Structure 1
Amino acid sequence: MVSMFRAASVAFFCVLSFAAAIAQPVKPSATTQGFHSRARLIGGGQQGEHWLAGVEITLDQGFKTYWRTPGDSGLPPRFDWSGSENVASTEIRWPAPKRHEDAAGVAYVYGKQAVIPILVKPKDPAKPVRLALALEYGVCKDICIPANADLSLDLNGADSERNAIEAALVKVPLPQALAAPADLSILSVAPLAGDKPAFTVTIRAPVGTKPALFPEGPENWFFSASHPVDGDHFILTVEEKPKDASGPVSLRLTLVAGDKAIETEVSLDASDLPR
């Protein structure tokens, strides 16, 4: 069922993306109006050897867009910076998402307005930096539609949007070791008997918060996470995996509770999972 839904979603997005690709090109600017959304490149001045920039996506009421891993369905943002000038690298910093559940399944989303910070390193710090971005992102309410934006921005020292970018950076999950002695922590990941390969993820979270867990595996691995059980653990299920999977598998777990977010890398042994 999950595979069929993903396949249908991918086919749907491909058809619409092809239609967008043959549409009349639009001259890049800092802002582009899209389907029930607006995308904008913003600048926040310099921070050390980097320029602070951000991709701001503003959505109409009731619409959402997706995190780097969309969940059961959806389209994660795609960034093409190849048209930029004097740019050595761009580092995307992903703020923590929210969990959204409906008839289509569980999605990992941003709503209303999302700012995705970008750390831009110039090739030559003494020369001007111009960002040019071909952006693809999903916009979803009852059905999901891919949106496209061609954006450009000169990073010239102006820091008018620095506060918005720094506020988004605060929401980026902090890397944290397993069983770290913190008030928000992933304490353990233990195998759980059942029809599907699954694990119990035990956590610690501040009292009064409603934690959410966002699992991410390698290509062709799909995981789901339950709502918190008894407030201190989740059921993590392997929904799909490659038939010939073997050896260690790296899994990234993002845990969000209140205004705090962490991410922890764990390793699973694929050889021990039921096929």
Structure 2
Amino acid sequence: MAFMLRAASAAIFLIVSLATAGAQALKPSASAQGFHSRARLIAGGEQGEAQLAGVEITLDPGFKTYWRTPGDSGLPPRFDWSGSENLASAEIRWPAPARHEDAAGVTYVYAKQVVLPVLVKAKDRSRPVKLALSLEYGVCKDICIPAHANLALDLSGAASSRGAIEAALAKVPVPQALGAQGPLSVLSVAPLSGGKPAFTATIRAPSGAKPALFAEGPEHWYLSTSAPDEAGRIAVTVEEKPKDASGRVPVVLTLVADGQAVETQIDLDGSGVPR
């Protein structure tokens, strides 16, 4: 079912993107109106040897957009920086999403507004970086519809939105080892017996918080997570995986609660069992 939802979303994205390609072939600017949304590039000044920028997406009431892993349906943002000048790299940092559950399944989303921080490195630090971004992102209320924006920004002359970018950076999950001490952590993982490959992640979260866990595997691995039980256990199920999978399979577990977020990597074997 999850595969069918993802395939349907991808087909809709392709059809609508092709239909709107001509309308979007306008001269890029720092902001652009999309389907029930608005996207813009913002600047944040120097950050060590790099520069801060951000991709800001503002959504109409009731609409959502998706994290890098969308969940059972939806489409992650796609970034094409190839038209930029003097750009060596543009690294997206991902604030933690929210878990949204409805009749279509569980998705990992942002609502209202999100800033995706970008760590920009210049080829030549003595020259300005001029960003040009072709952005595709999904917008959802009852069904996922693609939006497209052609954006451009000269970082040397742009007004600073550093506060908004730093606020978003504060929501990016902090790397943390399995079993680490602290108020928010993934304490352990253990195999679960049953039909599909699955395991239990035992977590610690602040009292009264409503934690959510997001699980990401390599390409062609799709994992789902349950809500936590009273003992802080969350079931993680391998919904799909390559038939010939073998060796070490890295999986990232992102745990979110009370405005905090941590990111823990574990390893599965080819059958989906924790190593």
TM-score, structure 2 as length reference: 0.96
Q: Which residue of 2 aligns with 1:168?
A: 168
- Count of aligned positions: 273
Aligned residues of 2:238 and 2:272 also touching (Cα < 8 A): no
| 2:196 counterpart residue number | 196
Quote the Cα distance in structure 1 between the aligned partners of 2:252 and 2:216.
5
Structure 1 runs, 4 residues or longer, greater than 3 Å off = none
Residue 274 of structure 2 corresponds to residue 258 of structure 1 = no
- Name the CA distance, whole Å, in 2 between partners of 1:171 and 1:24: 31
CA distance in 1, matches of 2:65, 2:128: 32
* Residue of structure 2 equivalent to 1:18: 18
Q: Distance in 2 between matches of 1:133 and 1:258?
A: 33
1:59 equivalent to 2:59? Answer: yes
Q: CA deviation at 1:271?
A: 3.9
Q: Which residue does the alignment assign to 2:225?
A: 225
Query: What is aligned with 2:179?
Result: 179
* Aligned partners of 2:32 and 2:40 also within 8 Å: yes
- Give the whole-Å Cα distance in 1 for the aligned partners of 2:199 and 2:159: 45
SS of 1:270's equivalent?
Answer: coil
2-structure distance, mates of 1:92, 1:84: 15
Offset, 1:159: 5.2
1:9 partnered with 2:2: no
Give the residue type in structure 2 aligned to 1:240. Answer: E
Cα distance in 2 between the residues matched to 1:56 and 1:50: 19
The answer to which of 9-18 and 53-62 deviates more is 9-18
Comparing 257-266 and 228-237, the one that deviates more: 228-237
Cα deviation for residue 250 of structure 1 reads 0.6
How far apart in 1 are the matches of 2:7 and 2:240? 13
What is the identity, as a one-letter code, of the residue corresponding to 1:170? A
Alignment root-mean-square deviation, CA: 1.3
Q: What code does the residue aligned with 1:115 have? A: V
Equivalent runs, 1:120-131 vs 2, <5 Å = 120-131=120-131
Superposed CA offset, 1:110-166 (max 9, x none): 000000000101111111110000000001101111000000001116552000000
Q: Deviations over 1:156-209 (max 9, x none)?
A: 165520000000000000011111111111111110111121101001111111
Structure 1's 231 and 28: CA in aligned 2 closer, same or farther, altered over 3 A?
farther
For residues 189 and 177 of structure 2, what CA distance do their matches in structure 1 show? 13
1:49 matched to which residue of 2? Answer: 49
User: Which secondary structure state, in structure 2, belongs to the residue aligned with residue 100 of structure 1?
Assistant: strand
3-state secondary structure, aligned to 1:243: coil
Evaluate the alpha carbon distance shift between residue 126 and residue 223 of structure 1 in structure 2; reply closer, same or farther with a 3 A threshold: same
CA distance in 1, matches of 2:37, 2:167: 21
Q: Post-superposition shift, 1:9?
A: 2.0
How far apart, in 1, do the equivalents of 2:199 and 2:157 lie? 49
Distance in 2 (alpha carbons) for counterparts of 1:23 and 1:231: 53
* Partner residue in 1 for 2:216: 216
Percent identity over the alignment is 70
- Which residue does 2:148 correspond to in 1? 148
Q: Answer yes or no: is the 8 Å Cα contact 1:56–1:116 preserved in 2.
A: yes
For structure 1, the 5+ residue unaligned runs are none
Give 1:15 deviation, angstroms: 1.3
Normalised TM-score (structure 1):
0.96
Contact 1:247 1:271 in 2 (8 A): no
SS in 1 for 2:120: strand
After TM superposition, give the deviation of residue 21 of structure 1 in Å. 2.6
Matched-pair contact (CA < 8 Å) for 1:202–1:233: yes
Query: Structure 2 regions of 5+ residues with no counterpart?
Result: none
Distance 1:60 1:272, change over 3 A: closer
Residue deviations 1:228-270, cap 9 Å, x none?
1115110001111111111211100000010110001100011
